[in-house]
Amino acid sequence: MEFHQVGPSITNTFESDSLLRSTLRRVLPIDVFAKIETHLKHVGELAVTDWLRWSREAETNKPRLLQFDAYGRRKDEIVMSDGWRHLEAAAATEGIVASGYSREFGEFSRVYQAALLYLFHPSSAFVSCPLAMTDGAARAIELYGDDALKNTAFTHLTSRDPSKFWTSGQWMTEKTGGSDVSGTSTVARRNGEAWSLSGVKWFTSATTSQMAMLLARPEGAEEGSRGLSLFYTELRDAKGSLNNIEILRLKEKLGTDALPTAELRLNGLPARLVGGEGHGVRKISSLFNITRVYNSVCSIGHLRRALDLAQSYSRVRVAFGKPIIEHPLHKQTLDVVESSFRRAFELTFRVAHLLGRDETGTATERERLLLRALTPISKLYSARVCMAGVSEVVEAFGGVGYIEDSGIPRLLRDAQVFSIWEGTTNVLALDFLRALDKEETRREFIAAVEEKFSISVLGEAWSKAKAILAAPKDEAQARHLSFLVAEALTNAA
């Protein structure tokens, strides 16, 4: 009889995740955990049933750009799969974004949201990407929007009703550079209280969203990042046609194939100024602070799924007379990846809790400093751990891990995006250094860390990090310093 290898299988991802459950039990008050446990079990089951089926359908039926109709008229329509639309609706229904703003659980609301996102992302076909920008846009409007935006856009962004729920884009990247927005060439022209934007946005995800937040330079404003302002726009008019937006092309990417990423030309796009002219970079930073937390959560969720598959496979794949999990070296390899995952998990959920404390006004000044400094650290560390771990998982599958039908190669391609979105490793390391730009701030950061953790637990990595922090600022050390801080804090996890 011909042999056919049994493939890996996964079960309810909340019930099978002992680390998630134990972390929530430790961090959350008993009554809060009791209230959310049933929902998380429900979500964990969706992650291996409906969501998984829809995500596979979305990955198979990738976005298509229809630029013209049969008679040559420009239409610029991005066709999305039914699976993608079902996943967006599910995200609204389960409150992936809304849970962060109802604040039903006070400072723990962001921890609850992180758990939801962690379970949703691996079966989301990267619907998690527009959700990140949606959450960031909601936060920017909450902080800087006028009453009209809060009563309309914010309400849509935080709705649990799929028929009312909006997602948002975040359009910053231009040909002149990604992280360096100082060269932004999109021009904002004023006509009374109205504005129109013209320029090219080179890399825009969530192009099928209802709205976007973006940077542009008002005519006559100074050069560099200081002259930029933050704008809000709705992508379509009352008839459903794009508002003076031309879709030049969909990007062919290494991964995230189900996610539509486009190059756009803005030809007088109607827009509204958010929070007055100027200081656009500072205002939009409130947005990408949120998206960086999302990036961290999605990174660890992605690696958790890869590890679940590898561990399942190791129990059904037999080599040299026994399941490969019984070979000590194979088990040790997976254990090392599991250990790295756990460290990144603990750091990510710690940052999510700090975010919740900050937004509800319960954070101390030192905790607010920790949030500002550790958000880029968590993002860069979790992304690198994810990439390295998924690479090991591919190898753990052997030849089948290199075969597209298995779905494993897609995990590796998709993992690479986490270290690029929302700032590369070097950009984030420099951002961490900027957060500690003053000697006094560095001293306060050290005190804040040592207030939370025992120095002996932080270990040698912390001693090395403190030595660098005590020396004159050196950008060339930023990356090394960032990983030392991450190592120290995850030693203490």
Tell the CATH superfamily of the 279-493 domain: Butyryl-CoA Dehydrogenase, subunit A, domain 3 (1.20.140.10)
477 burial (CB, 10 Å; 0-12 / 13-18 / 19+) is middle
What percent of the chain has a predicted confidence (pLDDT) above 70? 100
Closest C-alpha among 15, 40, 18 to residue 111: 40
The answer on pLDDT for 206 being more than 80 is: no
- For the chain, which residues make up each domain, given as ranges? 168-278, 279-493
pLDDT of res. 338: 98
> Confidence class of residue 288 from pLDDT cuts 50, 70 and 90?
confident
Task: Indicate whether 178 pLDDT > 80.
Answer: no
Q: Rounded to 5 degrees, what angle do the CA atoms 399, 400, 404 make?
A: 115
Judged against a pLDDT cut of 80, whether residue 179 lies above it is answered with no
The 3-state DSSP class for residue 98 equals: coil
Q: How far apart are CA 475 and CA 434, in angstroms?
A: 10
Residue 242 carries which DSSP code?
A: B
pLDDT score, position 456: 84
> What stretches of 81-176 adopt beta strand conformation (E)?
168-171
Confidence of residue 208 (pLDDT cuts 50, 70, 90): very high
pLDDT recorded at residue 225? 86
Residue 492: pLDDT band (50, 70, 90) is confident
pLDDT bracket for residue 364 (50, 70, 90): very high
pLDDT for position 111: 98
Q: pLDDT (tens digit, 9 = 90+) per residue, 106-117?
A: 999 999 999 999
Assign 171 to helix, strand or coil.
Answer: strand
Gyration radius from the chain CA atoms: 23
CATH of domain 168-278: 2.40.110.20
Q: Does pLDDT of 217 surpass 90?
A: yes
Distance from C-alpha of 265 to C-alpha of 198, rounded to nearest angstrom: 7
For residues 137 and 158, give the distance between their C-alpha atoms in angstroms, rounded to a whole number.
10
Q: How does residue 1 score in pLDDT terms, banded at 50, 70 and 90?
A: confident
pLDDT digits (tens, 9 = 90+) for 383-427: 999 999 999 999 999 999 999 999 999 999 999 999 999 999 999
- Could you list the beta-strand ranges (E) of 15-121: 64-68, 74-79
In this predicted structure, what is the pLDDT of residue 182? 80
Say yes or no to pLDDT of 207 above 90. no
Other beta carbons within 10 angstroms of residue 416's beta carbon come to 17
Residue 172: the pLDDT is: 87
Place 455 in a pLDDT band, splitting at 50, 70 and 90: confident
Residue 254 has φ and ψ, to the nearest 5°, of -65, -40
Euclidean distance between CA atoms 88 and 83, whole angstroms = 9
CA dist 360 and 345 (Å) reads 23
Task: Give the model confidence (pLDDT) of 115-144 as tens digits.
Answer: 999 999 999 999 999 999 999 999 999 999
The span from the CA of 444 to the CA of 442, in Å, is 5
Say yes or no to pLDDT of 84 above 80.
Answer: yes
pTM exceeds 0.85 for this model: yes
Residue 430 pLDDT: 97
E strand spans, 35-73: 64-68
Quote the pLDDT of residue 176: 81
Q: In percent, how much of the chain has pLDDT > 90?
A: 89
Mode of pairing for the β-strands spanning 194-205 and 261-273 = antiparallel
Interval 458-487 mean pLDDT: 96
- pLDDT digits 0-9 by tens, 20-65: 999 999 999 999 999 999 999 999 999 999 999 999 999 999 999 9
For residues 82 and 367, what is the distance between their CA atoms, to the nearest angstrom?
43
Three-state SS for 327-361 is: CHHHHHHHHHHHHHHHHHHHHHHHHHHHHHHHHCC
Euclidean distance between CA atoms 156 and 104, whole angstroms: 18
Q: Please answer whether residues 217 and 195 qualify as being in contact, where contact means their C-beta atoms are separated by less than 8 angstroms.
A: no
Tell me what the mean pLDDT of segment 350-360 comes to.
98
- What does the mean pLDDT of the chain come to? 95
454, pLDDT greater than 90: no
- What's 114's DSSP letter? H
Going by pLDDT thresholds of 50, 70 and 90, the confidence category of residue 97 is very high
